[in-house]
Amino acid sequence: MPSHSVAAIANEFLKKARTEGRALTHMQLQKLPYIAHGWGSALLHEPLVSVTPQAWRYGPVYPTLYEALCRYGAGAVEDFVHENDGNCFARERGKIVEADLTDKEKKLINMVWEKYKTKGGIDLSAITHEQGTPWTRTVDEFGLQTQIPESFIVEHYAELLEKNLQAMRK
């Protein structure tokens, strides 16, 4: 199973939001692909996103996605991410970045969307800041502006999966 560009996964969430008449902010579009990546690691045993997030002040951030979306500030993201977004020297934006998702990946994104679509950016950030999360472990061990180790993400979401399974068994 291939991993995808974070821009393509962000665009998948933008598509879902648009079909429901919702708007998403830059912060939501940083956190939703991160959460989907984490759940994908636990459920599909494969990375969903091909790049590593960093531990920034307000949670996990994908720097390339940040560059592509920073023009929106804290407001709603008005367009899909295109090739060359974030490149100041690009003459053309390029086509919309898309992912060729497997059926399992589509189900994963749907699951994450259904669970988190009502959460604002600050709420999603708070989830990533809870004690023991990959973000808090990274900040505690390495400081801000450092890469969040994939092993931290895999361990955390595997633990969440196990907790959910145990709760279902009760």
List pLDDT tens digits, range 57-78.
999 999 999 999 998 999 999 9
In 7-29, which positions are buried (b, 16+ CB within 10 angstroms) versus exposed (e)? bbbbbbbbebbeeeeeebbbbbb
Q: Tokens in use for 163?
A: 């907790």
Is residue 1 assigned to a domain?
Answer: no
Phi-psi region at 83: left, alpha or beta (left = phi > 0; alpha = psi -120 to 50): beta
Query: pTM for the whole thing?
Result: 0.94
Number of domains observed in the structure of the chain: 1
Domain holding 51, by residue range, is 6-169
Is residue 95 assigned to a domain?
Answer: yes
Is residue 146 assigned to a domain?
Answer: yes
What angle, rounded to 10 degrees, do the helices at 6-19 and 103-116 form? 60
Q: What confidence tens digit (pLDDT) does each residue in 101-149 have?
A: 999 999 999 999 999 999 999 999 999 999 999 999 999 999 999 999 9
Q: What is the pLDDT of residue 165?
A: 84
CA 57 to chain centre: 16
Q: What is the sign, positive or negative, of the torsion defined by CA atoms of 102, 104, 105, 106?
A: positive
Is residue 43 assigned to a domain?
Answer: yes
Is residue 80 assigned to a domain?
Answer: yes
Is residue 134 assigned to a domain?
Answer: yes
Q: Indicate if the pLDDT at residue 89 is higher than 60.
A: no
Is residue 117 assigned to a domain?
Answer: yes
- For the beta sheet containing 54-56, the strands, ordered from the edge strand earlier in sequence to the opposite edge, are 59-61, 54-56, 146-147
Is residue 105 assigned to a domain?
Answer: yes
